[in-house]
Every structure is written in structure tokens, then in C-alpha cells.
Amino acid sequence: MKIKSVLCIAVVSACGLASIGVLAAPVLADGDEPHWDYSNQASWGALEDTRQTLPPLMFPHATCSIGVAQSPVNLADQARSNSLNLLSVNYRTDTPDFYNSGHAVQVNSSEHYKGTLSIGKDVYPLTQFHFHAPSEHVIGSQTFAGELHFVHIRDDGRIAVLGVLLEEGATNSALQIILDNTPHSAKTHNPDTGISLNPRSLLPRDTKHFYTYAGSLTTPPCSEGVGWYVLAQPLTVSAAQLAQLEALYADNNRVPQDLNSRVVTGNVK
Ligand SMILES: [Zn+2]
């Protein structure tokens, strides 16, 4: 999961230093963050921002290493509950921004988009969604072909992510629109296609059965306090679509993290 607004904290402080002429360290290749990728995920927490001199700012992704409520996790050992808050998906048609984030195929909601996810009485606006291949969450020994993360960020900073596992099967026409309109260059937007898309088309039929736990962003800075809701029923996408997705980004999955004292709750049979 990648959330630009969180990373902007680092950008703003770096820009502030530059403007008053004390930015002596070499400019990082990425421009706004220490470079990370999936081949060095075990050391995300140790990546150093060489522009900074204060320890908390020198290691902006420290939570990836020292956090105790990290995502993804193995969902297999769910504690069954019949009293979970109901999920109510209220996504609407949007004319979104098709975005190549440099780490994933991503779709950003347009500025005035009104689509939401309700969890009980709490309402979360859909900010963006993006894809991982293979899946990040696993169920026992089972890894899925891919995983879709619907990221919801409220004005008060609370984050909820709806995860959808992907498996090979029938073609999904909404995914095809996304694949055909995602730029091939990293960190490139395609906001003006005028194409209408309802993110609801990327949900399986059953949205009642899910796993839930308290976790984190699965990409640096790995911030915690994220509410996770992973649907039990996978969404089917075709083999050709998986190949097209993987041609853009393959193996962009963080490995499962320790549950520590956490419990995965669920209403999955
Ligand atoms: Zn993600």
C-alpha cells in the first residue's frame, strides 16, 4: 500500500531545509524518499534519508522494522465472530486518474469523488486502489495470484483498507480498462481519459464474509493504525490480465509479518 500524503511529511521537511540553504547532503535519486524496492524489504526500516541529521528523520521507515502491528499477515487462524460490524460498499462511478506509482498499478479517485466504505457506523471515503502480484495476505500455505487494496483515508487520518484476493478465472472488464490506461513509465499519471469506472466492478459477489485485524501500510513508511478488512471470496481475473499486470509490476508483495499479540477476527466459514 502506498499513500502519498504520508510520504509528503518527508518531502515538506526536505524542501523546507533546501529553501533556507542548509541542505548539504546529496540529493537522493528518487527525489523525495530513500529508495526502496521489494528485493530489500527486510531492511526497509534501516534505509537512511541522507538529507536528515536528526535520528527520527534519518530513518523515516523505521516502523517497518520496529513496528509490532505490521501487515500483511497470515489470515488462517481467524477467531470466528458473529458480531462483526457490517461492511457496506457504496462506491460510485468515477472518472479516475490511472497512475503508475513506481511500485504498483494504482487508480486515484477524482477530487470530488463520493464513493465510500461504511464499517458499522463509520464512513470512509475511497482515496485510491492498487494491485499487488502475488497476494500479500496469505491463508495458511495459500498465496493468491494477486491482491487489490482499496485504500480509504478519512480527514481525521484514520485509514481502512479493503483487501480483495485475486485468482485466475474469468476476465474482469474493469481491470482491463485499468491495465489499458495505466502509463508504462513510473510515477506517471493519466488523469484525463474521461473514462467512467465503478470500483464496485472489482469486488467479488460476496462482500459479507471477511477477515479483519489491526495492521499497517504494507509499503514504507509502514505506518500502523490501519484497519484491515480482507474479503473471503476472491475476485477472478484472467490469465492474460495477470500477465499484463505482472508485465507492469511483478513480485510487488511484502512477505507476511508476525502477528505478535494480535488476533485476526473473521466471519468466514
Ligand atoms: Zn497495497
For 94-144, write each residue's pLDDT tens digit.
Answer: 999 999 999 999 999 999 999 999 999 999 999 999 999 999 999 999 999
Backbone angles phi, psi at 207, to 5 degrees: -110, 15
Q: Is the pLDDT of residue 262 over 60?
A: yes
* Angle made by CA atoms 224, 204, 94, in degrees to the nearest 5: 75
Distance from the alpha carbon of residue 23 to the mean position of ligand 1, in angstroms: 32
Q: Is the pLDDT of residue 240 over 50?
A: yes
Domain boundaries, the chain: 4-66, 79-266
Q: What is the pLDDT of residue 31?
A: 53
Q: Is the pLDDT of residue 220 over 60?
A: yes
Catalytic residue among 35, 61, 103, 149: 103
Residues lying with their CB under 5 A of ligand 1, a single-atom ion: 1, 149
Q: Helices 173-181 and 239-248: crossing angle, nearest 10°?
A: 30
Distance from the alpha carbon of residue 150 to the mean position of ligand 1, in angstroms: 8
Q: What is the pLDDT of residue 1?
A: 52
| Average pLDDT over every residue of 27-36 | 62
Q: Which of 44-48, 86-90, 177-181, 196-200 has the lowest mean pLDDT?
A: 44-48
| Confidence category of residue 56, pLDDT binned at 50, 70, 90 | confident
Distance from the alpha carbon of residue 38 to the mean position of ligand 1, in angstroms: 13
Distance from the alpha carbon of residue 257 to the mean position of ligand 1, in angstroms: 14
| Confidence category of residue 57, pLDDT binned at 50, 70, 90 | confident
Q: Please, what sign has the CA dihedral across residues 94, 159, 130, 85? A: negative
Fold of 79-266: Carbonic Anhydrase II (3.10.200)
d(C-alpha 128, C-alpha 202), whole Å: 13
103 is catalytic: yes
- pLDDT tens per residue across span 157-206: 999 999 999 999 999 999 999 999 999 999 999 999 999 999 999 999 99
Share of the chain above pLDDT 90, in %: 81
Sheet strands (E) in 31-110: 79-80, 87-90, 97-100, 105-108
Per-residue cell: 175 = 481491470
Sheet strands (E) in 22-93: 79-80, 87-90
Q: Is the pLDDT of residue 25 over 60?
A: no
Distance from the alpha carbon of residue 112 to the mean position of ligand 1, in angstroms: 23
Distance from the alpha carbon of residue 47 to the mean position of ligand 1, in angstroms: 20
| Average pLDDT over every residue of 246-262 | 98
Backbone angles phi, psi at 159, to 5 degrees: -120, 135
Average pLDDT, the chain: 90
Distance from the alpha carbon of residue 228 to the mean position of ligand 1, in angstroms: 11
**Alpha-carbon distances of 213 from 108, 120, 195, 226, rounded to whole Å:** 25, 15, 35, 9
Give pTM, 2 decimals. 0.88
**Alpha-carbon distances of 71 from 19, 39, 232, rounded to whole Å:** 36, 17, 17
Q: What is the pLDDT of residue 160?
A: 98
Q: Is the pLDDT of residue 155 over 90?
A: yes
Q: What is the pLDDT of residue 10?
A: 36
Distance from the alpha carbon of residue 148 to the mean position of ligand 1, in angstroms: 7
Q: What is the pLDDT of residue 55?
A: 80
Distance from the alpha carbon of residue 170 to the mean position of ligand 1, in angstroms: 23
Roughly how many angstroms between the first and final C-alpha of the chain, as a whole number? 27
Q: Are 180 and 195 a contacting pair, CB within 8 Å?
A: no
| Average pLDDT over every residue of 260-268 | 97
Q: Are 72 and 263 a contacting pair, CB within 8 Å?
A: no
